[in-house]
Amino acid sequence: MKLRIAGRGIAGGLLVVTTLLATVFPLLTGDRIAFRDASHFYLPLYDYVAFRTQSEWMPLWNPLDHTGIPLIGEATTAVLYPVRYVLFSAPVPTEWSLNAYLVFHLLLASAGAAWLARRWSIKGLGTVVAAIVYPLSGSVLGLCCNPPFLVGAAYMPFALGALLGRFAKQDSNEPQSKWLRDVVIAGGSLAMMVLGGDPQGALHVVLIALLCSVVLLWKINAEPSWLQRWLGQAGKLSSACCLAALIAAPQIAASIDWSRQSDRTLAASERADLYDFSVPPWHALELFSARPFGELFPINRRVSKLLAGDGRMWTPSLYAGIVVGCALLLRLVSLRSRQQNTFDPFGMVAVTGLLLSFGHFGLVWILQQIPGVFEGANSAIGGAYWWLGVLVPGYDSFRYPAKWLPVFALGAAMITARWLSRPASDLDQNEQRFERRWLVGIASVLALALVAITALISAAQNEGDRFQTSGIADEYWGPLDVLGGYEVIQWSFACSLIAMFVVIALRQTQRRSATKWGTIAWIALISVDCWSSGDDLLPTVSIRKEQAAANRISPANPHVARTLRTQKGAWPTLWKRESNADRALQVAASERAAWFGRWHLAERSAVVNSMVSIRSLGWAKFWRAVERQSPNWDSAEQRQFWKSFRHWLGVEGISHVDGDKVMPSEGLAYAFITRRSLKGGAMARLATTWKAPETMESLVAQLASGDVATVPRVEFPVPSEPETDNDGQLQELDAERYLVQCSQDCLLVRSVLQDGNWRAEIVPANGNDQSVAVSVPVLSSSFLNQATLIPAGAWEVRFFYQPTWQGPSIWACLAGGGMVVTLLFASVVLGMRESR
């Protein structure tokens, strides 16, 4: 019997792995993701991080973005994440390492969902279903274009299962050994989420666990053991959080240090990105059909863009299989779960995650649909995400409500697993009748939708080209093909209706008896359904073809100290006018060649206005001031501003994209890119006069009226007029060492951000090796630079980056590792005693 059960488990596991690998098969055969951040942000970023970690065990500073930013402080870099370190250390191209990284975390998410299902006494078919529908749901599979959040989704089932699994059961006498193991699993999983770049996901797990614990406390407050159970749960939750904080201490400390001086400190009312990627409520229809609004790529057929407020797309679809939509709807409309004695939180988890993902679609948004009501008001007010920002201190420093979708997907997967693990034959007649009516109702709605979209297609074909003119176009994927979108919707509804008929038939078969062939049929349906939806969820391109195309269209690298990216328009206007089945290749190659996102890191070149996940507060205020003042500048002031800007920040090169032109290559139109070097400012310079700090508005105004790079704004005491002209000499030995000779006190200014962790020391230039180094303060200069005061004489000046958090956080991390070993050892010893 045990061998038979083990054999079924192995067969189920192989089937799950096969389904997952079949869905991401292009990543195993020479393609890569060609969409959003995975393509232009994390691929070059992880390549650069791997390059740095080859020679440094803990690289701290990134000099290639802006005027420098902390490398670990930008949380999504995953510098300290062990899995990233191992996979990107392999002697293979970075594209293959990223593919392995994505596939590994999809498999891990699958294993986590299966483990969570078994922990909640869901076995057999339910376990296999959970292992398939969670990682292949659009909410999780779509995160392949955002690797840090895929990492968070992969560890979420382990963290949530360890925090909630035993608390919700009736047995209040939880063995101490299992309690300790739960603390280790939860703490380790939360730590890996933070190290992998998703601290927000870790916070979501803690918030959901806390919510479920409070609800359960309310349900069990009449039981004699309620206090004991609550104290045990509170201890587990707090212990797991403390353990995670210790393990991930260097990452947490670096992130806090950088975040407190970043644009995340701006008030929520000042942040335009706070509610970006809010999921429109009508996209909940994607729970029942894979493409009910069309598709965006490779041809733009996403007709939801015709709806006001559709916004930016986070994932192409929420679909996780027709069975997930059915199970979730039945759970929401059924009162059976309220009559059970046990507490099953996943309905609440799914609903909470979905409501929070709606973001700015709050109560006020609903009222704004009435003409003249609350015009101009914040549409998020009254919504779940708005309340979260109000009630949870500091949560408004995060962004993107769609990051709650993995929580929803996990809850929905568990609901589906439990529904299918309970055969229909176990239901009483009223429950069977209730379920049958709802399943037939879903099929009827899908059939009506199919008839309606077919009629609409017929009408559109009769209207001809006039019907096709929508005036909507995407800068990447071209003009909206309305008729093509309707045809995609028609196919989607047809597939969903067929799948729905199979669901009804299989559920009817289960009402008589649960058979082995019925189980196989369920798994086959779910596997095919998830594979067909996920196979083309995200666009991919051939690694070889994309690299070859990028090499053909890339201009020469001028190899200057720092480059400014500029553009005329956005991408080629031809892309907006014309569609092309190879558009993903055009986009991916153009992004690489144009150094869009963070592709400059792959070239080891510095770009002053690159894309980063967390930018400095000074940088954010600077561009806001420019946006406010630049409309009032004449052409002379604009030229003067950019000249002053280059000298101020040490810019010596321009990388320009001209949207009015294209670079033709092998029959395809790519972005037209030029690069050139120019006379800019030095990365380091001497000054004998300076001024007190001013406001950013004043600084920007002076940049437009004259070059202020030679007159730094710094907090050192302002000197009197110099006795002689500046006759100082500066020689750069390397990026962080300089020889300075001056006849009077002078200021050594570097175009490097001072985030509070840069230090400097000076030694006599003519001294010997025994000369004592003298520390000198390094202050912020003109917001985005740094400066140090050098006394008269000849000196060697040495700069070094030394965060105050580094030492203590490393010791905390070691302590966390020691605690893991201790807790595991204690759990083994206690387990042996408990088994006697």
Tens-digit pLDDT profile for residues 490-542: 999 999 999 999 999 998 887 666 677 888 899 999 999 999 999 989 999 99
Question: Can you tell me the mean pLDDT for 141-170?
Answer: 89
Helix (H) or strand (E) holding 321: none
**In 120-168, alpha helices (H):** 125-133, 138-141, 147-164
Tokens of 459: 């009408």
In this prediction, residue 232 has a pLDDT band, given cuts at 50, 70 and 90, of confident
**Is residue 88 a contact partner of residue 46, using CB atoms and an 8 Å limit?**
yes
pLDDT band for position 447 (cuts 50, 70, 90):
very high
Cis bond upstream, residue 693 (ω within 30): no
Say what the pLDDT of residue 757 is.
96
| pLDDT (tens digit per residue) in 80-100 | 999 999 999 999 999 999 999
In whole angstroms, what is the distance from residue 15 CA to residue 713 CA? 65
**11-15, 201-205, 246-250: which has the minimum mean pLDDT?**
11-15
Alpha carbon distance 707, 694 (integer Å): 15
Given pLDDT bands bounded at 50, 70 and 90, which one contains residue 216? confident
**CA torsion sign, 412 to 413 to 414 to 418?**
positive
Q: What is the side-by-side order of every strand in the sheet holding 774-776?
A: 729-734, 737-742, 793-801, 758-764, 774-776
337: confidence class by pLDDT, cuts 50, 70, 90: very low
Residue type, 267: A
**What is the CB neighbour count within 10 angstroms for residue 223?**
12
Instruction: Please state the φ and ψ torsions of residue 633, each to the nearest 5 degrees.
Output: -85, 145
pLDDT at residue 675 in the model:
96
For 427, list phi and psi in degrees, rounded to 5: -85, 150
Share of the chain above pLDDT 90, in %: 67
Of the listed ranges 102-106, 216-220, 782-786, the one predicted with least confidence: 216-220
Count Cβ atoms within 10 A of the Cβ of residue 233 and give its class: 0-12 exposed, 13-18 middle, 19 or more buried.
buried
pLDDT in tens, 726-740: 568 999 999 899 999
Q: Is the pTM of the predicted complex or chain greater than 0.75?
A: yes
Residues in Cβ contact with 438 at an 8 Å cutoff, skipping those fewer than 6 apart:
326, 329, 330, 333
Amino acid, single-letter form, for residue 638: Q
The residue among 312, 309, 286 whose CA lies nearest residue 369 is: 309
Q: If pLDDT is split at 50, 70 and 90, which confidence band does 345 have?
A: confident
What was the pLDDT predicted at 724? 52
384: pLDDT confidence band, cut at 50, 70 and 90? very high
CB 606 within 8 A of CB 563: yes
| pLDDT the model gives residue 231 | 82
pLDDT surpassing 60 at residue 571: yes
The most confident of 259-273, 412-426, 599-613, 724-738, by mean pLDDT: 599-613
| pLDDT given at position 338 | 47
Pick from 656, 474, 673, 675: nearest CA to 573: 474
Q: How far apart are CA 350 and CA 352, in angstroms?
A: 6
- pLDDT over threshold 60, residue 615: yes
C-alpha 32/C-alpha 614 separation (Å) is: 26
Q: Which helix (H) or strand (E) holds 724?
A: none
What does the pLDDT look like over 773-802, one tens digit per residue? Answer: 899 999 999 899 999 999 999 999 999 999
Phi/psi at 528 (5° precision): -65, -40
Contact between 699 and 712 (Cβ < 8 Å): no
Q: How confident is the model at residue 710 (pLDDT cuts 50, 70, 90)?
A: low
Query: Strand 758-764 and strand 793-801: pairing?
Result: antiparallel
Helix (H) or strand (E) holding 219: helix 199-220
Predicted pLDDT at 4: 58
Mean pLDDT of all residues belonging to the chain: 89
Separation between Cα atoms, residue 609 and residue 592, nearest integer Å:
16
Pair 618, 66: CB distance under 8 Å: no
pLDDT(270) > 60: no
What pLDDT, on the 0 to 100 scale, is given for residue 295?
94
Provide the CA 11 distance to its chain's centre, in angstroms: 34
Q: Domain spans of the chain?
A: 542-677, 684-803
Q: What is the mean pLDDT of residues 718-724?
A: 55
CB of 421 closer than 8 Å to CB of 124: yes
654-673: pLDDT as tens digits: 999 999 999 999 999 999 99
pLDDT of residue 772: 84
Is pLDDT at 425 greater than 80 in this prediction? no
Which region among 85-89, 375-379, 406-410, 787-791 has the lowest average model confidence (pLDDT)?
375-379
